[in-house]
Chain A
Amino acid sequence: MSGVRLLVGTRKGAFVLTADGSRKEWDVNGPLFTGWEIYHVTGSPADPDRLYASQTSGWFGQVVQRSDDGGATWEPVGNEFAYDGVPGTHQWYDGTQHPWEFARVWHFEPSRADPDTVFAGAEDAALFRSSDGGRNWEELSGLRAHRTGEQWQPGAGGLCLHTILIHPEHPERMVVAISAAGAFRTDDGGETWQPINRGLRSAELPDEDREVGHCVHRIAMNPSRPDVLFMQKHWDVMRSDDAGDSWREVSGNLPSDFGFPIAVHPHEPDTVYVVPIKSDSEHVPPDAKLRVYRSRNGGEDWEPLTKGLPQEHCYVNVLREAMAVDTLDPGGIYFGTTGGQVYASADGGDTWEAVVRDLPAVLSVETQTLP
């Protein structure tokens, strides 16, 4: 019977949760790298035994951990993320220019074809690539060298590159997202990039057609329809049907269109999931009820999913990297909270169960569907 492995990054270590295809009984292994912030753990689509973890600390900086046996053992690999050439500057909170400085890796995106090739999204915003399993990293500096780079400004969480989507058939096409610069696309493997923010509206920006400066929180797609993108922005849930060339709002009847994560059902490319949060200044669920909202028609209408989720006195948040889907049938949906719960649904979101309740604050959740 096939199974699922959940890779959970938290403020105080990583956890590996496994279950068989029924997804009823879970083994919880961890913490790994206890005491470190684990921003992201993910596996290679080409080799499920190959995992990468971003282990960070305000004291000791960045460590990259790699596993070649599905998380049983780990090896620190390369942690030198050097910006290409003279790093230059970006805009700081006060409007002055500030030197680009590496802080941490927010996201790893392994190649679909080669377990040794992996991309890293960094703070301050930059895209790095390793072709040797994480031992050495080179910057794809065409992104940061974009003529708008000096205008990029950090969000409250830093100037982080947190989303990397690789086109499943044309890997030279990639989409990345940066808070609070916006979304960018390359069609030539990372040499050149264009902002793909047309149609985004950020009320704080006086120029509503501004090319950059949008706080994109997350972008998701279904690999069967890679040019259809769904975005959770600071406010607004957005959809693009042309690989980001244009966006339209699909917030519809959501109780709030502020939130962080967004995910697409593994088998139904028009089924989308978000977790609304009351507002940008409160970061708690509306009405103290933890509700995942599902749209089955690409964002036109949304329905609350509540069965098994706390519907009173709930004040947790779900961060941008903390929601994922498996590829079993029926599709499984998972998310982790800042309160340390990891919730799983083995029926596309109809019902939920807490896999584990008292972890440190969850930063990231990824899945691997195992043979």
Chain B
Amino acid sequence: MIRVALPQHLRTLAGVDGEVSLDLDGAAMTQRAVLDALEATYPVLRGTIRDHGTAKRRDFIRFFACGRDLSLEPADDPLPDEVVSGREPFRVVGAMAGG
């Protein structure tokens, strides 16, 4: 199971407390697969992390895992082993911006 940590506003929107767990069911363990599974499980999150249509990461969203910023990594690159094994969460972060 992949663990995903969402920012507060998206937890509220999805109606979840704490982390969510996703079963990728044999899919490649990539950012794209995690986000596809997240949006399939919680359709209300479509368009809030990635743009509709292009699936491009929204400007003020970042992805972190294992202390690393994965935001600029290719969406189809393998995720770190710690994320794949469930030892570490894949973090969706609302970037610090604005005032």
Interface residues of A (CB under 8 A from B): 35-36, 57-63, 76, 79-82
Docked-complex contact A61 and B53, CB < 8 angstroms: no
Docked-complex contact A60 and B10, CB < 8 angstroms: yes
How long is the Cα–Cα vector from A57 to B45 in the complex, in angstroms?
Answer: 13
Docked-complex contact A63 and B13, CB < 8 angstroms: yes
Interchain nearest-CB distance for A360 vs B (Å): 14
Q: Please, which residues of chain A bring their CB within 8 A of the CB of B44?
A: 63, 76
Cβ-based interface call for B95 (8 A): yes
How long is the Cα–Cα vector from A6 to B9 in the complex, in angstroms?
Answer: 25
A60-B48, A62-B47 are known; give 18 further A-B pairs, CB within 8 A: A36-B9, A57-B9, A58-B60, A59-B58, A60-B9, A60-B49, A61-B51, A61-B58, A63-B13, A63-B44, A76-B44, A79-B47, A79-B48, A79-B52, A80-B46, A80-B52, A82-B52, A82-B53
Count of CB-CB pairs between chains A and B under 8 Å: 43
Interchain nearest-CB distance for A348 vs B (Å): 40
* Given A61-B58, A82-B53: A76 touches B13 (CB 8 Å cut-off): yes
Complex A-B, nearest 7 residue pairs according to Cβ-Cβ distance, in ascending order: A60-B48, A59-B60, A59-B94, A80-B52, A76-B44, A79-B47, A61-B47
How long is the Cα–Cα vector from A59 to B48 in the complex, in angstroms?
Answer: 8
- How many residues of B sit at the interface, in one of the four size bands? 10 to 19
How long is the Cα–Cα vector from A76 to B98 in the complex, in angstroms?
Answer: 25
How long is the Cα–Cα vector from A60 to B52 in the complex, in angstroms?
Answer: 12
How long is the Cα–Cα vector from A256 to B58 in the complex, in angstroms?
Answer: 41
Interchain nearest-CB distance for A100 vs B (Å): 13
Docked-complex contact A35 and B48, CB < 8 angstroms: no
Docked-complex contact B61 and A59, CB < 8 angstroms: yes
Cβ-based interface call for B27 (8 A): no
Cβ-based interface call for B97 (8 A): yes
How long is the Cα–Cα vector from A76 to B48 in the complex, in angstroms?
Answer: 12
Docked-complex contact B97 and A59, CB < 8 angstroms: yes
* Contact of A63 (CB < 8 Å), options: B48, B53, B61, B95: B48
* Contact of B97 (CB < 8 Å), options: A58, A60, A61: A58
Q: Interface readout for B28-71 with A: 1 if CB under 8 Å, 0 if not?
A: 00000000000000001011110111000010110000000000
- A-B CB contact pairs (8 Å), 21 listed: A35-B9, A36-B9, A57-B9, A58-B60, A58-B98, A59-B9, A59-B95, A59-B97, A60-B9, A60-B48, A60-B58, A60-B61, A60-B94, A61-B48, A61-B51, A61-B58, A62-B47, A63-B13, A63-B44, A79-B48, A80-B52
